[in-house]
A = this chain, B = another copy of it.
């Protein structure tokens, strides 16, 4: 069994340390390069003491040659960073898994509007495959560049996919009321992310417009084969990990919703449809790559409610990235990702 050599660019944030944690348990991959301009020279385990004994390596300055020598390179960078280095790696035939937003939107103008920066390599966008395996498994297997789906978008898309594909809900008027743990805001030192600000508090944010909205609409439209518009309201909830999305849509015809969901996801290793009447809890996926879903039609009305939970750092980021890597490299899709969540 050959080991896959892995490079990680920008591994000082939460998705970076989560890649390192998960890859430490991956039997066929080995991290060989970890880059960070800010922390170059410093031991990885000094920054993240949970990795002591698992990684004896230091951050290095990002260097294209070194990275290109890896079988696969993950970008765990803020947006508008990967796009400057990815072209050189693609040119050298290195596979790239980008956890940032740089290659998620196929419409460059839309991307530039929402991210407020000019895209530096728009010509690469068409070949980027959107990294949601449940939707794009075949394409991911042959992709050289994967743009891993965002955290909120993953939960909302997996929640609506069965209904949109069955064509039994209105494609307008959908509401996604999403709640995220604070790690979604990253490891940056911001007042709003302080324990004494985000703790014991609940609030909405980005109600006027959040960057994940166009990504979600692109994905849902693709599933529906028609334009889908939704109202998306993200909230911050005082927990470290986890996203809970509660989604409301209008049914257009009668259907056995539980069956629709169960048959849609019967063969998916990381989507779990809960038994009828049981609702998912974020802690049931803490640290795991599973997305759990429930569907219900309260009071027998026309409004269908779907609940989706995931760990925003795993299925919403680093776990899904590794799932994509497994597919790209011909490994079993679940390799290294089959551990139960940490509960309590």
A-side interface residues toward B, CB under 8 Å? 14, 17, 20-21, 24-25, 48-54, 173, 175, 177, 179, 181-183, 187, 189-191, 193-205, 207-209, 229, 231-233, 235, 237-242, 244, 246, 248, 250, 272, 274, 277, 279-288, 290, 292, 296, 298-299, 301, 303, 305, 307, 309, 339-344
Contacts and interface: CB of A to CB of B under 8 A. Distances in A.
A295 B309 CA distance: 27
26 contacts: A21-B341, A48-B343, A49-B281, A49-B284, A50-B283, A50-B285, A52-B272, A52-B284, A52-B292, A182-B195, A182-B199, A187-B194, A194-B194, A200-B200, A200-B240, A201-B239, A203-B282, A203-B309, A205-B279, A209-B298, A231-B248, A231-B298, A231-B303, A231-B305, A235-B244, A339-B339
Contact of A175 (B49, B51, B207, B248): B248
Contacts of A173: 250, 303
Given A200-B200, A202-B239, A237-B202, A51 B179 contact: no
A181 B239 CA distance: 12
A24 B338 CA distance: 9
Given A53-B272, A285-B50, A279 B240 contact: no
A14 to B, nearest CB: 6
B339 A283 contact: no
A179 B179 contact: yes
Contacts of A231: 248, 298-299, 301, 303, 305
| Chain B CB within 10 A, most for which of A201, A277, A303 | A201
A284 B50 CA distance: 4
| Chain B CB within 10 A, most for which of A14, A173, A238, A244 | A238
A242 B197 contact: no
A203 B277 CA distance: 13
A202 B231 CA distance: 21
A193 B195 contact: yes
B244 A14 contact: no
A190 B189 contact: yes
| Chain B CB within 10 A, most for which of A49, A173, A197, A244 | A49
A284 B303 CA distance: 33
A102 B103 CA distance: 53
